[in-house]
Structure 1
Amino acid sequence: MNCRIREAKILYRILDQRLSRLFNAGPPAGFAGRLLGLEREALRVAPDGYISQVPHPPTLGSALTHPWITTDYSESLLEFITPPLPGPGEALRFLDEVHRFACRQIGDELLWSASMPCILAGEASIPIAEYGHSNLGRMKHVYRRGLAWRYGRIMQVIAGIHFNFSLPDSFWVAFQQMEGDRRSLQEFRSESYFGLIRNLQRFGWLILYLFGASPAVCKSFLDGKATSLTEFDEHTCYGPYATSLRMSNIGYTNRSEKKSGVNVCYNSLPEYIASLTQATVTPWPPYQRIGVKVDGDYRQLNANVLQIENEYYTSMRPKQPPQGDEKPTVGLRRRGVAYVELRSVDINPLEPLGVNETQLRFLETFLLFCLLNESPPFDAEERAMIDDNQMAVALTGRDPALVLRRRCDPVLPLRRWADDILSLLQSICALLDLGETGQPYATALAEQRETLAEPERTPSARIVAAMRASGENFFRYARRWSEQHRHHFESRPLAEERIQVFTEAAERSLREQAAIEAADKISFDEFLARYFVQS
């Protein structure tokens, strides 16, 4: 039997069995109670199109302690965060309010509409984020200094959307009983989430194909470096078939992790913790040559392969909310995986929020597909195939001749494999649509089927086609959408009671930062020593 057909039948049987049990068990075993959250990064851009040099506005609160508005790498790279909420509509409504509040506070600046940045005037034009004078704030700043020394500042101002997803204990209890699993609920939940993560990496190229929205880049981002990209005009380079340059080797990568021989393992939670920890304690000669504390000033937190766990970039992270200054791996070891964070979603410049409800519903469906499928451990051969597939789709995903690799099919056309996956999502959509008005999940799936059949419908193709039609380079195209989105938010001012909520949150966060700074009783050196000794 053809390997592709055999694998599809096996996957269908496993999915069908598990979904049938969930249907038959009723609401407690279903997906009700699942939560999702969004984190949207957005550069603040000056009216002239260059990255803003203005510090983080105090009226937005403290980037260290505000629950919904912070900064990522740069003082100019805002990050808007929603709480965990029960559906895509609720998450988008909250994110919309944050945008509308922020637009009131940034004067004549724009929120950049795309993942790839605006005009950059070299490394020095990118201000590293500041978090105050506390030990915790200094650690966050020094970590970012280290990123600048290791990778350069320019790649750090690429923006994206993170999609956080979790299922309630009621689901995990019922699912564990259906599977006949006798481990603790925490262990079962954690290892199930790791199965989801492995499958997301196996099949996650589909997200880049359907939603990749970074096919072009301003030449200022390349900073004079040689590139294999095609010249669009004197200011822009692009990939004729690219979907997500952000997720390619042009974007953020952990070069040292790949070269050092320290490989982060996703085959179980203990292996993940051990391998990630190993990367944070293994010295790396190029980073040792940079130095750590030079002439009394920190250049980086340490000279190891990774300064801290969060330096490791991957398409999905297992997450556990930290308690105090707890390291991420310590929280995972103590309390297991609480949710997963999908990090491979580009900002769609056509959308005011960078993402829309139909897309979020599809992502929910896709993550449940990854959870409910069998997910065997990785070996080195499959890991290499996964990396190759992601790079191929990021750089040339819309090429009609593109073929991908998987163990049983050395070469498999992308569209054929994608069609197999989308077919398997139908039953999940049926379960998600129970109790919904209409069939929003089935509709979201149908829309992606149309996109697969007509690649010109993908965001990446629409962006390139629009640039060609208008004669705009990437910068002018993205700035036009940035201006339109600003008008969109300004035309819908927040109600006074919501303005008050965000204003009070900003003021409270500034008080909290001041309290943290006042409470520091140890030196920064001792603070770092205590942080890194956690086990």
Structure 2
Amino acid sequence: MLATLEHQLERLAHAGHAALLTQTRQGIEKEGLRVTPDAQIAQSPHPRALGSALTHDFITTDYSEALLEFITPVHDTPTAALDFLTQLHAFTYSRLGDEQLWCASMPCEIPSEDSIPIAEYGSSNVGRLKHIYRQGLKYRYGKMMQTIAGIHYNFSLPDAFWPVWQQLEGDTGSLQAFRSAGYFRLIRNFRRYGWLLLYLFGASPALSASFMAGRNHDLQQLNADTLFLPHATSLRMSDLGYSNKAQSALQICFNHLDSYANSLHHAIHTSHPDYEKIGVLVDGHYRQLNSNVLQIENEYYSDVRPKRVTESGEKPVHALMHRGVEYVEVRNTDINPLLPLGIDTSQALFLNAFLVTCLLGQADDLDKRECRLVAENQQRIVNRGREPGLLLHGRNGEQPRELLAEQILDKVARTAELLDDIEGTHRYRQAIDSQRTKVADPSLTPSAQVLAALRDSGLSHSEWVLTMSRKHRLNTLAELTSATDTQLQQAALESLAQQAELETTPAPAFADFLADYIAS
């Protein structure tokens, strides 16, 4: 990959177009539970002062009524995206009353699934569809794992980059097809090397014991209310998190757009025996949207996704098939409870350099054997990532974690040097250097620091995260500017008006609406 990468970087620089690599576009989506002052999941409805979860552009909910989701617009720099995310936090804090925003990926203490309120979106057809989809997740997988929160990092290159790279590659096909193929090249290399991100940034080595109530597990007891694994990096990304046996048999192919889209299309149109047993409309109430392997595309979980902004009423897979890949969504990022936003500028800069490196790296497909080894590497890292002497699968068989990590960092460093030279800074190099220290000393990783802080505090996981959540709230509230406060107040009012209009506009019966949606 290094020779390929250097060749690509040199070609772009020689042609005078390397500056396009610094013009990345990024947006951030971040989830977080609302909790009561005593660290219980909030039972209150989505705060009206935050607007409509159905129609607001920036503040919505994920699975639960208590699981907030912040969505930044697309920004030209990571710093700008993080600044907007700060404002969303500060605005929300100012409207939460005595509730707190949970600052960790693994949830607070939850006594039972009955205490997890499913998100509500009103009486419109689209609002009902979103709610019923979540009911389906309850019946299929249970509610508990749906309370896990994470950060999604959306990344793209500027439009001007693609015709330049296409010409350098000597490709004479359509620009749309070339761009999609380029993003899938990025995705393939991300899957090869994404384990490194879990090692460097994983921040969920422990969880509340209530999360595993009634389930068999191999976790150890840190204290009466906290479970952990001593060398884990990201239990959120392990089999304890979002798992789906029906999906594991899908074998979604990430090599090319057509195979990926066809695999998804098949899954959302193929009934599954276990889901048929659940039923769809039972005693006048919908339990799920359909009995297919996937109700909708979003049900498929992966650590990275090809994405395109959809038009009104358009399904994501159809948008990809018709207009190609627009950006990639990185989904394996834990919320770091030690950071006010769960992510910081250094991490975002590293992600950008890493993703550019993946884009310009090796172009070969993933075969079934490599896919299996990629999955094995990920499981070793999430459960045992900091274990001394840990071996991972590399091109030359099993090799030490440190060796493979340094090889990847060497590649990312080449990209970082070019980006810094173009911008006249050292910030990308510094971002890579700060990650090298974690490879040399695992105690510097977020997962190790979280465990150390938990042990030093003498608190349970829920008590410690609540303490950190209060601290971040106090420090972030002061960041709210009057201009943004006014902007987000207006956005909240407009979103409420949009939902009200949806609910008063004549519409077909929901059964007809759902049938049309599924058939489309």
Residue pairs, 1:13-28, within 5 angstroms: 13-27=3-17
Instruction: Report the equivalent of 1:130.
Output: 120
Q: Is the 8 A contact 1:319 1:341 kept in 2?
A: yes
Instruction: Report the equivalent of 2:171.
Output: 181
Instruction: Report the equivalent of 1:434.
Output: 421
> Runs of at least 4 residues of structure 1 off by over 6 A?
none
Q: Is the 8 A contact 1:29 1:175 kept in 2?
A: no
**Structure 2 gap segments, 5+ residues each:** none
Q: Is the 8 A contact 2:50 2:59 kept in 1?
A: yes
Instruction: Report the equivalent of 1:4.
Output: none
Instruction: Report the equivalent of 2:502.
Output: 516
* Alignment CA distance shift 1:197-1:63 (3 Å): same
Is 1:265 paired with 2:221?
A: no
Q: CA deviation at 1:409?
A: 2.8
Is 1:342 paired with 2:356?
A: no
CA distance in 2, matches of 1:16, 1:494: 43
Is 1:501 paired with 2:487?
A: yes
Instruction: Report the equivalent of 1:69.
Output: 59
Q: Secondary structure at the match of 1:39?
A: strand
Q: CA deviation at 1:254?
A: 2.4
Q: Is the 8 A contact 1:29 1:170 kept in 2?
A: no
Is 1:237 paired with 2:223?
A: no
Q: Secondary structure at the match of 2:29?
A: strand
* Aligned-partner residue type, residue 341 of structure 1: E
Instruction: Report the equivalent of 2:282.
Output: 294
- With 290-299 and 30-39 compared, the bigger mean Cα shift is at 30-39
Residue pairs, 1:459-470, within 5 angstroms: 459-470=446-457
* Aligned-partner residue type, residue 315 of structure 2: K
Is 1:361 paired with 2:361?
A: no
Q: CA deviation at 1:45?
A: 0.5
* Aligned-partner residue type, residue 433 of structure 2: A
Q: Is the 8 A contact 2:9 2:18 kept in 1?
A: no
Q: CA deviation at 1:28?
A: 6.9
1:45-100 deviation digits (Å, cap 9, x = unpaired): 10111000010001100101100000000000000110010111101110000111
Q: Is the 8 A contact 1:135 1:520 kept in 2?
A: no
CA distance in 1, matches of 2:516, 2:13: 49
Q: CA deviation at 1:498?
A: 1.8
Instruction: Report the equivalent of 2:130.
Output: 140
Q: Is the 8 A contact 2:204 2:236 kept in 1?
A: yes
Q: CA deviation at 1:495?
A: 2.8
Residue pairs, 1:80-119, within 5 angstroms: 80-119=70-109
* Alignment CA distance shift 1:271-1:220 (3 Å): same
**Structure 1 gap segments, 5+ residues each:** 1-10
Is 1:274 paired with 2:299?
A: no
* Alignment CA distance shift 1:164-1:70 (3 Å): same
* Aligned-partner residue type, residue 326 of structure 1: E
- With 221-230 and 152-161 compared, the bigger mean Cα shift is at 221-230
1:177-219 deviation digits (Å, cap 9, x = unpaired): 1111111110000011011111111110000000000000000
Q: Is the 8 A contact 1:43 1:112 kept in 2?
A: yes
Across the aligned residues of Structure 1 and Structure 2, the Cα RMSD in angstroms comes to 1.2
Instruction: Report the equivalent of 1:55.
Output: 45
CA distance in 1, matches of 2:393, 2:224: 36
1:6-38 deviation digits (Å, cap 9, x = unpaired): xxxxx2211111000111222476314320000
Q: Is the 8 A contact 2:208 2:226 kept in 1?
A: yes
Instruction: Report the equivalent of 1:194.
Output: 184
CA distance in 2, matches of 1:502, 1:235: 38
Is 1:481 paired with 2:471?
A: no
Q: Is the 8 A contact 2:17 2:164 kept in 1?
A: no
Q: CA deviation at 1:473?
A: 2.1
CA distance in 2, matches of 1:307, 1:138: 14
Instruction: Report the equivalent of 2:431.
Output: 444
CA distance in 2, matches of 1:533, 1:33: 40
Q: Percent identity?
A: 48
- With 378-387 and 506-515 compared, the bigger mean Cα shift is at 378-387
* Alignment CA distance shift 1:170-1:29 (3 Å): farther
Q: Is the 8 A contact 1:29 1:174 kept in 2?
A: no
* Aligned-partner residue type, residue 464 of structure 1: L
CA distance in 1, matches of 2:13, 2:413: 14
* Alignment CA distance shift 1:70-1:462 (3 Å): same
Out of 401, 411, 423, the position equivalent to 2:398 is: 411
Q: Secondary structure at the match of 1:349?
A: coil
Instruction: Report the equivalent of 1:400.
Output: 388
CA distance in 1, matches of 2:311, 2:457: 51
* Aligned-partner residue type, residue 298 of structure 2: N
Q: Secondary structure at the match of 1:353?
A: coil
TM-score, length-scaled by structure 1: 0.95
1:228-270 deviation digits (Å, cap 9, x = unpaired): 0111111111010000000000000222112xx4321112101
* Alignment CA distance shift 1:29-1:97 (3 Å): closer
1:149-182 deviation digits (Å, cap 9, x = unpaired): 0110000010000000011121111111111111
1:394-426 deviation digits (Å, cap 9, x = unpaired): 0000001211124x3331111110010101112
Q: Is the 8 A contact 1:52 1:76 kept in 2?
A: yes
1:132-159 deviation digits (Å, cap 9, x = unpaired): 1111010000000000001100000100
Out of 18, 37, 45, the position equivalent to 2:35 is: 45
1:477-501 deviation digits (Å, cap 9, x = unpaired): 11110010111123x1523222110
Out of 176, 188, 193, the position equivalent to 1:203 is: 193
Q: CA deviation at 1:434?
A: 3.3
Instruction: Report the equivalent of 1:532.
Output: 518
* Aligned-partner residue type, residue 494 of structure 1: L
Instruction: Report the equivalent of 1:374.
Output: 362
